[in-house]
Homo-oligomer: A and B are copies of this chain.
Amino acid sequence: MKHLNFKKSVMIFSALCVAVGMISCNSANEQHSSTTETETDMVFSKGEKVTNDNFVGTVWLNYLVETDSIHNVNIGSVTFEPGARTNWHTHKGGQILLVTEGTGLYQEKGKSVEVIKKGEVMKCPPDIAHWHGATPTESMTHIAIGTNTNIGGAVWLEPVTDEEYHSGDHDHN
């Protein structure tokens, strides 16, 4: 199985933007910036820099499986540079996160911020408002599996405030 060429990557990335309900989306072909790990060490490349307003900070997306009406999932590898995170959002059909690199944060509305690390798994139930991202000082990569995509995708809400983002800082180590 060959790697996807650039044209197909752009098509797939655009499809994801629709799938996850992003309002504005550009699949900019920017040069990848350096992180704590080189591309060659990563299982999946970082992909394209996300340029829409549903994230804060620098986020990269490699869309591995576009929304699929046979399997009813979509799958992407998402890399958050330190300080970066999603906005608050829900998933109509739920989502599962497999952390593949670094240390990050996850919070469901009304609960405390949780630290998530390489090798750990998080389930985001349908219709539960939550956010995820890197810690202030370390990047984090996870495989995000959107489940039951026949029901629907992401519903984007308000940005995570700095106060919310830093509310668990004392628990990061």
- Please give the residue numbers on chain A whose beta carbons come within 8 Å of chain B beta carbons, in ascending order: 1, 3, 43-45, 64-65, 68, 70-73, 75, 93-94, 96, 98, 100-101, 114, 116, 118-123, 125-126, 143, 145, 147-148
Interface centre among A1, A100, A121 (most CB of B within 10 A): A1
Q: Decide: B73 and A73 in contact? CB cutoff 8 A.
A: yes
Among residues of B, the one whose C-beta sits closest to the C-beta of A44 is: B119
Complex contacts, A72 vs chain B, CB 8 Å: 72, 147-148
Q: Which 8 A-B pairs have the closest CB atoms?
A: A71-B147, A71-B94, A43-B100, A1-B120, A64-B121, A44-B119, A73-B147, A43-B119
CB pair A65 B96 closer than 8 Å:
yes
25 contacts between A and B (CB under 8 A): A1-B114, A1-B120, A1-B121, A1-B122, A3-B119, A3-B120, A43-B118, A43-B119, A44-B98, A45-B119, A64-B98, A64-B121, A65-B96, A70-B94, A70-B125, A71-B93, A71-B96, A71-B147, A72-B72, A72-B148, A73-B96, A73-B147, A75-B96, A75-B121, A75-B145
Residues of B within 8 A of A148 (CB): 71-72
